[in-house]
Chains A and B, each alone.
Chain A
Amino acid sequence: AQKITQTQPGMFVQEKEAVTLDCTYDTSDQSYGLFWYKQPSSGEMIFLIYQGSYDEQNATEGRYSLNFQKARKSANLVISASQLGDSAMYFCAMRDRGSNYKLTFGKGTLLTVNP
């Protein structure tokens, strides 16, 4: 079974609007970490935001926020006020004891921001 599931291969959003990228995860550990990374076409992996399993509040970093619903095992990324430069691949990842604390990535979502 996949540990990280991103069900949206591609998403489109209009500039200045908000967009939600879905991520669900599967783990039996109580302690785990959830990460989102952005990968532009140039290839580098840019860390965006982190959510710990014990964090009670949703993580926020500027225009990025993480909608963490622990009971549903979902960790959706919300990008507000989309910009053209947000067009990229977005990967959700998890680190838990079951994976020896190695990052497990989802398949990614390609976000295209339209002007």
Chain B
Amino acid sequence: GAVVSQHPSRVICKSGTSVKIECRSLDFQATTMFWYRQFPKQSLMLMATSNEGSKATYEQGVEKDKFLINHASLTLSTLTVTSAHPEDSSFYICSARRDANSNQPQHFGDGTRLSIL
């Protein structure tokens, strides 16, 4: 069964709306979670690393004020797309790993398809 839950799976909303996406690790504590963005027919692009109890680490070119990340507990990270515009429409997917051991895979949520009208 799924070990990472992501919600909602699909969002359609008007331009200017802020959208919050939740990522939960279901049966383990994740001190680190990751947020990716994926455009159609392309690979996953890492946006940021979410660290429990501290600020997220953003990849180069990702606007931290646009994509707010909160990792308030060991099982929950949220990504808020603030004042979303049509160019923010994309597939967003989170992942978590059980520990820092390099042979542990990252487990992914099912993703969120965001459509801004």
Contacts and interface: CB of A to CB of B under 8 A. Distances in A.
B43 A108 contact: yes
Contact of A101 (B95, B100, B110): B100
A103 B43 contact: no
Contact of A107 (B34, B43, B91, B95): B43
Interface in B41-96: 42-44, 46, 49, 91, 93, 95
Contact of B49 (A31, A46, A102): A102
A-side interface mostly: strand
Contacts, number: 50
B20 interface: no
Interface in A24-48: 31-33, 35, 37, 42-47
Nearest to B111: A43
Interface residues of B, number: 20
Interface string A76-113: 00000000000000010001000001110111100000
Nearest to B107: A47
A68 interface: no
Given A91-B44, A107-B42, A108-B43, A101 B111 contact: no
Contact of A32 (B34, B91, B102, B106): B102
Contacts of B95: 45, 103
A30 to B, nearest CB: 12
Contacts of B105: 35, 47, 50
Given A43-B91, A45-B95, A108-B43, A103 B106 contact: yes
27 contacts: A31-B102, A32-B102, A33-B103, A35-B105, A37-B108, A43-B93, A43-B110, A43-B113, A44-B110, A44-B111, A45-B111, A46-B108, A47-B105, A47-B106, A50-B103, A50-B105, A52-B103, A91-B44, A95-B102, A102-B34, A102-B46, A102-B49, A103-B46, A103-B95, A105-B44, A106-B43, A108-B42
Interface of A: 31-33, 35, 37, 42-47, 50, 52, 91, 95, 101-103, 105-108
> What are the 10 closest A-B residue pairs judged by CB atoms, nearest first?
A45-B108, A43-B111, A47-B105, A44-B110, A33-B102, A105-B43, A107-B43, A105-B44, A52-B103, A108-B43
